[in-house]
Amino acid sequence: MDNLLTVLKNRNFLYLWLCEAFSQVAMNMLNFILVLTVFSLTSSNKAVSGIILSFTIPAVIFGILAGVFVDRWTKKKVLFATNIIRFIFILILSFLYKNIIFVYSISFLSAIVTQFFIPAETPMIPLIVKKNQLLSANALFSLALFGSIFLAYGLSGPVILFFGLKTSFILLSAIFFIASIFAILIKTKENDLKKSDDFDLFNDTKNTIRAIVNVPEVFHAFLLLILTQVLTLIISVLGPGYAKEILRININTFPIFFLTPAVIGMAAGAFVVSNFLSGFSRHKIATLGLFIASFAIIMMPYATQINLLRFIRILFLGLARTYSIRIFISSCIAFVLGFSNSLIFVPSNTLVQEHSSDQIRGKIYGALNSASALISILPVILAGWFADTFGVGFSLIILGIIVFMIGLLRLTL
């Protein structure tokens, strides 16, 4: 805990961390609320697919390009500008959200702006914290990043029900505005860094790929960061079916019983990595995280197995109901899954920052954003089809085996 608190005492990092947290919560809530808005306006699944494409395609098209530009600009100003622009977009949307064309347009434009925000936030960490604090700083950042996704998922429905769509959009615009305030408060020595004035997209892209592929630590970490995002999306796709088919609970309660323990597990993992594993190999920590994640994913379908339930009944002297035990087991699995995510994500992010220069780091994260969006498309589609064809439980087992095989492969490196 001391390591995490020490980093948070750095006001510049605290402002950056709060900027990220508010921005990510607003962005993820916006995506979810846009999906509900489009469906309420059209009652069409095709229209929903369209809105999802509107905030995923920009990542594929503009991710690398954004990274190239961001490395030429002052990142603090990029953070401020991207949040202010999204604040304006969503504020306008709050008055015109009943126009489906306008909704698509604002969603697409906001997603483009977000592509410039992403390669500016994480690369700022080495500019404001000491090198020996990078692991702790990334632990806190991973908690804010993934925690915001689950928090946004859980809050979006209640916010719409309580405030309505118009007020919800105004609220989101206010959150973006608050994030911009934190961004402007950050002080760095970035202005002293040498910026290249020559713009050559082809050479910049080639140099970025070379910087990723030619440095094994960066390349392996890059692949693991993609893997964490793909796994998060796949489990999000399988989540509703898991709640309905295996846990047999109301889908609306799934965030409480599964996502909340996962976030707590991430916090615990971040704490352990920062305070107890800082002296260990980043490579080995991430590999351990893969094996723990594979175990948790494979165990997910067995949350309702009768023999395990009987064992837990005996453990609790037969006082607990089967429903409560089922929820308890799935929540424990979610905790372990969140814990393993931190073991993979935190050291991987740290490796990228330790083995890349300030002049190339934004481009690497821009490439990461593009690659994650592009690579995740097929697995997400296949996950839905596979679950519909063979069942959610079998799909999770196969997913867990794949993660386990990746862990074994890393042992040979």
Residue 358 has pLDDT above 90, yes or no: no
Question: Left if phi > 0, otherwise alpha if psi is -120 to 50, otherwise beta: which for 391?
Answer: left
**Above 70 in pLDDT, residue 46?**
no
pLDDT at residue 191, as a whole number? 55
Q: Please compute the mean of the pLDDT values over residues 193-204 and round it to a whole number.
A: 62
In the chain the domains, ranked by start, together with CATH numbers, are 1-186 (1.20.1250.20), 201-413 (1.20.1250.20)
pLDDT band at 193 (very low <50, low <70, confident <90, very high): very low
Q: What is the DSSP string of 302-355?
A: GGG-HHHHHHHHHHTTT-S-HHHHHHHHHHHHHHHHHHHHHHHHHHHHHHHHHT
Choice between 398 and 383, residue whose per-residue pLDDT is larger? 398
The one-letter amino acid at 213: V
CA distances from 245 to 330, 336, 387, 392 (A): 13, 21, 11, 8
State the Cα–Cα distance between residues 348 and 362, nearest whole angstrom. Answer: 16
Q: What is the pLDDT of residues 154-169, one digit of tens each?
A: 777 778 878 888 999 9
Report the distance separating Cα 37 and Cα 31, nearest Å: 10
**What is the widest separation between alpha-carbon atoms in the chain?**
72
The amino acid present at 41, given as its one-letter code, is L
Considering only 51-55, 175-179, 311-315, 325-329, which range has the smallest mean pLDDT?
311-315
Lowest mean pLDDT among 17-21, 132-136, 251-255, 353-357: 251-255
**pLDDT tens-place string over residues 361-391:** 888 888 888 888 888 888 877 887 888 888 8
pLDDT-wise least confident of 8-17, 138-147, 184-193, 314-323 = 314-323
- Sequence-distant (6+) residues with CB within 8 A of 249 are 243, 257, 327
